[in-house]
Structure 1
């Protein structure tokens, strides 16, 4: 009979997410994970199977937490454009306030692993599709309320807004100040 686990696997995924988010997949060593999680390599591999399997769980955790946050902001008070401006502003401010300038873990994973890691690519594709769909639904709401012209294609607007978020998250990693990000946000919302 094996010894019982001396750590919480759910908390370990959360800690691993932070390491992968900061260092990227390739930049994270098994030793980095062992050190961050406070467990032995045997426990790491017995519990998660591999560094890659743990990365997939961490990426799913990130996806789920980000989706909840996005939906909560979209369902808040205000007009569609006010909520959209608030959401984009929040993402920019969050990224700029991060001393490590990690940006978005999904965007980072796409840049690092797309085309070379099928599982990670599929996870990011699903996350982007989910985000794009949320933006499309917001655009449709804006059409119903009269804020967005009815002839605009809500799917195209969803794609535009997803592209804006990806670009903002990348720009925030290198921005010296928030001015450029504010211009992008203002131009995007005003174009709707």
Structure 2
């Protein structure tokens, strides 16, 4: 499945051919159809796996430090280090918006889990004096997740690692 994720991350749904998937996954075309039904079924499964893995990795980073703000920074640093790889979640939004309910459900499910972890980290950071007291946690969580999307889009459009890192640094500063 990770090979399919990599191909869809790079080329999107429309830009990915069955031949590309067969070659990357090292299986026959019929195996894709037998297991996933069709390319769309494989795409949904790839998006679900990618979303689960990314959400878990973000949650792990958020929980990796004693200080909430350091966990947030660790999560942003991870995004900076991997942003040039592209994001299958953002790619699915750009390609399909909200037109495919099955994709929306996947993104909303994992988005809720990630948002919960971000809110917990922000509450912790605020209690530790590292986030401004006049700012609403819900709005900060939305801002933080939007900043991550911006970082990934900037990197995908060719922004340098330094540029993406600057967005991360400004995001941390904005939380104070």
Q: TM-score, normalised by structure 2?
A: 0.89
Give the structure with higher Rg (CA).
1
Partner residue of 2:137 out of 154, 174, 178:
154
Q: Is the 8 A contact 1:80 1:142 kept in 2?
A: yes
Q: Is the 8 A contact 2:62 2:74 kept in 1?
A: no
Distance 1:176 1:43 in 2: 38
Q: CA RMSD in A?
A: 1.7
Report the equivalent of 2:120. Answer: 137
Moved over 3 A (4+): none
Report the equivalent of 1:190. Answer: 173
In the alignment, structure 1 segments of 5+ residues that lack a partner are: 1-12, 96-100
The alpha-carbon deviation at position 41 of structure 1 amounts to: 2.0
Report the equivalent of 1:163. Answer: 146
The alpha-carbon deviation at position 180 of structure 1 amounts to: 2.3
Q: CA offsets per residue over residues 74-103 of structure 1, 9 Å max, x none?
A: 1112422222122212211222xxxxx332
Q: Is the 8 A contact 2:71 2:121 kept in 1?
A: no
Distance 2:159 2:7 in 1: 24
The alpha-carbon deviation at position 65 of structure 1 amounts to: 0.9
Aligned residues: 175
Distance 1:138 1:163 in 2: 16
- Report the CA distance shift for 1:58/1:151 in structure 2 as closer, same or farther (over 3 A): same
The alpha-carbon deviation at position 31 of structure 1 amounts to: 1.9
Distance 1:77 1:136 in 2: 15
